[in-house]
């Protein structure tokens, strides 16, 4: 049984940044820069290891129970859309990193939709830290729960 999460924390996830996953993301995102696949090119470019692509933290979704997360917020999954996602890198993620991401709700608002009807807008922030506890990446997600159809 895991320890309860502190107040305001929605979930926590940890994973290793693996070269194979970086290679998969490079292919999936049509990234052609060899710095993401060739350790020699990465080293010559000044990286400690092969750097991950900029959206690499989405692999955390494979480590999380997304259904439980949405349920814990009281959202109706069928009516939820992603409004935006913003990444802020404090340093590159590189192969060999181990990161822990802590996701918090930073805003939860009711708004009037453009076509009438209320919608709920939930803003989340995930801070990923490395094994030294130093922040590496901050991710902001905005989820929108559309009002029920009339």
Across residues 133-149, what is the average pLDDT? 90
Asked if residue 64 has pLDDT above 90, the reply is: no
The full set of domains in the chain, from first to last, is: 9-145 (3.10.129.10)
- CB neighbour class for 145 (10 Å; exposed up to 12, middle 13-18, buried from 19): buried
pTM of the predicted model, to two decimals? Answer: 0.85
What DSSP designation does 123 have? E
pLDDT given for residue 59 in this prediction: 81
Question: Residue 64's beta-bridge partner residues?
Answer: none
Residue whose structure tokens are 């990465």: 42
């Amino acid at each position: 049984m895991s320890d309860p999460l502190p107040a305001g924390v929605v979930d926590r996830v940890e994973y290793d940044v693996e070269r194979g996953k970086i290679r998969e993301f490079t292919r999936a995102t049509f990234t052609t820069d060899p710095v993401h696949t060739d350790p020699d090119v990465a080293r010559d470019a000044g990286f400690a290891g092969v750097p991950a692509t900029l959206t690499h933290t989405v692999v955390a979704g494979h480590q999380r129970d997304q259904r439980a997360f949405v349920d814990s917020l009281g959202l109706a999954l069928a009516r939820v859309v992603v409004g935006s996602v913003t990444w802020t890198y404090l340093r590159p993620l590189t192969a060999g990193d181990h990161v822990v991401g802590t996701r918090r709700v930073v805003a939860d608002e009711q708004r009037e939709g453009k076509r009438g009807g209320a919608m709920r807008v939930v803003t989340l922030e995930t801070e990923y830290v490395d094994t030294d506890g130093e922040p590496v990446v901050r991710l902001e997600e905005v989820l929108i729960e559309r009002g029920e159809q009339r």
